[in-house]
């Protein structure tokens, strides 16, 4: 099939892009990597009358590190993120997650911001942003700038707190302290497929006790889901006294899996429970 007719603009500044979004009144769609958008256009599942290509906006590219945080430009390609030494040093969990996104070919075009802004419930990057306590900075021509915590960004399947005239301009990921251990697991039918069950997170251990935890599920509900009960249960616990199975039960209790043609909700809960318990044990037994 062919896309429905649309106008095309390729602005060179953030201000110009935001102006176009505001003028379109909800009829515009942003083109970044296009790995999701282009098939939707071809199938006419998305029919904007204006396509705003943001790939020429230099301010939306790149990765930098400042005191306590890493800034990622939203149109940074996924393979660029994997190869970036700064990101690998400051945010190893994020790099691990990106390596599981799609395939090498799609990661050449797919962007970090595109995945996080889309909010696919079974995708790696939205959940990892939630687990790490990341936030997105957005801009509107009418309302200016605001920052949204990743855990507040996702409202439902492909539904986010972004307004129609807002453009993601920065992704901020806080750095975790020394003694942090990273946890990432996913089960998919084939490499590159969306996860049937996925788990991502960070656990900080100091003086033999858990001092901080950030954990999130993907593929286990309508949005990325923070494992709040498990996080709370871990805090202050000595590593040699942890009941991994009990904490896994708490983690799964926060999920809302569903039945589909790939797996049942009960299958997802069972796999998630076992995945979490094993991942927690292996993560905490490993050296930081």
Q: What is the pLDDT of residue 286?
A: 80
pLDDT attached to residue 222: 97
| Of the candidates 173, 169, 129, 167, the residue with the CA atom closest to the CA atom of residue 151 | 129
CATH topology agreement for domains 58-174 and 180-285: no
Domain 7-53: assigned CATH number: 3.30.43.10
DSSP assignment of 173-200 equals EEPPPTTEEEEEEEE-SSTTSPPSEEEE
Name the nearest CA neighbour of 117 among 150, 89, 80, 81: 150
Fold of 180-285: Enolase-like; domain 1 (3.30.390)
Q: CATH number of the domain at 58-174, please?
A: 3.30.465.10
**Rounded-to-integer distance, Cα 283 and Cα 77, Å:** 29
Instruction: Map out the domains of the chain as residue ranges.
Output: 7-53, 58-174, 180-285
Rounded distance, CA 103 to CA 153, Å?
26
- What is the number of helices (H) and of strands (E) in the chain? 12, 14
Flag residues of the chain having pLDDT under 70: 1, 287-288
> Across the beta sheet with 28-31, what order do the strands follow?
7-9, 50-53, 28-31
């Amino acid at each position: 099939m062919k896309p429905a007719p649309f106008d095309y603009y390729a602005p060179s500044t953030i201000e110009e892009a935001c102006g176009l979004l505001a003028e379109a009144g909800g009829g515009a769609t942003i083109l970044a990597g296009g790995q999701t958008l282009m098939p939707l256009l071809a199938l006419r599942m998305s029919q904007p009358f204006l396509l705003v290509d943001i790939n020429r906006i230099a301010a939306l590219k790149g990765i930098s590190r400042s005191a306590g945080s890493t800034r990622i430009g939203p149109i940074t390609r996924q393979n660029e993120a994997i190869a970036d030494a700064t990101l690998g040093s400051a945010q190893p969990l994020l790099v691990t997650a990106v390596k599981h996104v799609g395939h090498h070919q799609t990661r050449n075009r797919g962007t970090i911001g595109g995945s996080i802004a889309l909010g696919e419930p079974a995708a790696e990057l939205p959940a990892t942003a939630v687990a790490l306590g990341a936030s997105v900075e957005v801009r509107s021509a009418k309302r200016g700038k605001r920052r949204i915590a990743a855990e507040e960004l996702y409202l439902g399947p492909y539904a986010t707190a972004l307004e129609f005239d807002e453009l993601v301009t920065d992704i901020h990921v806080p750095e975790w302290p020394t003694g942090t251990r990273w946890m990432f697991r996913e089960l998919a039918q084939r490499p590159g497929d969306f996860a049937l069950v996925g788990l991502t997170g960070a656990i900080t251990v100091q003086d033999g006790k858990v001092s901080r935890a950030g954990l999130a599920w993907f593929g286990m509900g309508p949005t990325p889901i923070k494992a709040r009960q498990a996080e709370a249960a871990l805090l202050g616990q000595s590593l040699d006294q942890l009941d991994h199975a009990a904490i896994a039960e708490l983690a799964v209790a926060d999920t809302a899996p569903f039945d589909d043609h790939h797996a049942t909700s009960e299958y997802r809960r069972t796999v998630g429970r076992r995945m979490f318990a094993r991942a927690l044990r292996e993560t905490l037994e490993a050296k930081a």
